[in-house]
Amino acid sequence: MALVVQKYGGSSVADVEAMRRVAKRVVATREAGNTVVVVVSAMGDTTDDLLDMADALTDDAPAREMDILLSAGERISMALLAMAINELGVPARAYTGAQAGVLTDSKYGRASIVGVLPERVARAIQMGAVAIVAGFQGVNEVEDVTTLGRGGSDTTAVALAAALNADVCEIYTDVDGLFTADPRIVPTARRIESVSSEETLEMAANGAKILHLRAVEYARRFGVPIHVRSSFSDKTGTWIYDGRKEGAFVPPVVAAQLDDVVEADNDQEDEPVSATRPRLDGATGRVVAPAGTPAPDGGSVGRAHDRAISARAEARPHPSAKEDNVEAPVISGIAHDRSQDKITLVGVPDVPGAAARIFAIVAGTDANIDMIVQDVSAEGTGLTNISFTCPDGDSADARAALEAAKGELGYKSIHFNPDIGKLSLVGAGMRSHPGVSAKLFGALSEAGVNIHMISTSEIRISVVVDDAVLDEAVRAVHTAFGLDAQDTEAVVYGGTGR
């Protein structure tokens, strides 16, 4: 029926019982007639435990050896899950990132995928086995193990789905999909049934933890349908669709079939496969329809994938022409981020080229800059202030480089603030509706929250505030835009959201 790539996060495979639960779901998906490839993260807090052990030994671990160490967690998961699936009578083969053909550059710790050649994975599923792939890792041109950065298993899953021409990439986590805010902070957050890839990119880039930013970018580039759902429940989750497509979005046919699989997983785990349901031919790896079933249009997985892409998940109903304010902004959700620091250069000479020199120095440290604000030059002084934010892992090197270049840059002082948080309001039609900004700033004002910096895009408004009031700010804005659910919809089954 379909080629399905499923990714399970650390909380979904946290212990032996969790492994058994995931194995049953994988087997149920396969017995429904689907070809299945699984990508797994490390069990629970394994990666953090490995980092703690490395920190206990050295303050300056070689990046190459750290990648070898951290890739071990996913290897443990893939082997144990393969054993659990084999125990249920279904053949399963485990593969490291290198064995699965995930090729990367040589940026240890945050490598980028440069290509995927999943020959061994393809052979395994053609022989009727479930392929289990270690997420988060690959191999570079000199055959060293590399890792993709935290959350990189999402990217592994989407990259494999694209390379295998899969019908859908299911991201299983410990919450029931994407929500209008982090349910750990806003208990009244609502589940989003479907959302565009552009809005998802903004939410992921600005702190939403459910999906890895690079995974969303990869999926959008290669047209991979993503379905985010919980491995702990049978709820339908959230579909992420290509926002460039027009028209109402209907989930691919495979979606309803996979919902049935989840129900079977929960209610009829031991029921044998019905003779009236499609099955997988172990010799050919092809889906075989039951006798008397009309052949599907097209017949190949590739054509099925094309049909799935052409019928995306329903974003939101198109309003009737009779409705008023049909171009009103639609707020998808609120993201927040505590992982950034703010650096301010005070008394910078307000002359052409000053900002260029500052950010050339920052770029030399490989720091990723997010928001930038330059004040108006103080009258009669010829001096200005320039502030920017960057990830906390990059700020130390950026700050040191700027301090070393103080004589060249000519600024008076440098201020460093690690106690900031970023709140981002994401939705369509934001820039053309000034009322959105007024409502956002009004809600923050009423909550007594002061704003340090502001940044906007076509579908996002971000503000930097004090970290101590970030949670309160998120709740206030969530309520102000009418995003609160009447009943509690968000349940966090695990602990991390990944």
Annotated binding-site residue numbers for substrate: 47, 74
Whether residue 310 is predicted with pLDDT greater than 60 in this model: the reply is: no
pLDDT digit string, tens, across residues 70-98:
999 999 999 999 999 999 999 999 999 99
Q: Would you place residue 272 in the very low, low, confident or very high pLDDT band (cuts 50, 70, 90)? A: very low
Positions at the binding site for ATP = 7-10, 173-174, 184
- In order of their start, the domains of the chain are 3-264+278-314 (3.40.1160.10), 333-481 (3.30.2130.10)
Buried b (16+ CB within 10 A) or exposed e, 214-225: bbbbbbbeebbb
d(CA 265, CA 259): 10
pLDDT tens, residue by residue, 31-41: 999 999 999 99
31-45, 180-194, 244-258, 449-463: lowest mean pLDDT where? 244-258
pLDDT in tens, 478-497: 999 988 887 666 566 655 43
For residue 208, is pLDDT > 90?
no
Q: Model pTM greater than 0.85?
A: no
Range from 23-37, 84-98, 154-168, 260-274 carrying the lowest mean pLDDT? 260-274
3 state SS for 41-92:
CCCCCHHHHHHHHHHHHCCCCCHHHHHHHHCHHHHHHHHHHHHHHHHCCCCE
Confidence of residue 243 (pLDDT cuts 50, 70, 90): low
pLDDT of residue 156: 95
Q: Is the pLDDT of residue 229 over 50?
A: yes
Residue located via tokens 């689907």: 34
d(CA 333, CA 438): 17
* In contact, 342 and 453? CB cutoff 8 Å: yes
432 or 424: whose pLDDT is higher? 424
The predicted pLDDT at position 280 comes to 35
Binding residues are 7-10, 47, 74, 173-174, 184
Position 395 pLDDT exceeds 80: yes
* Burial of 18 per CB tally in 10 Å (0-12, 13-18, 19+): buried
**What pLDDT does 375 receive?**
87
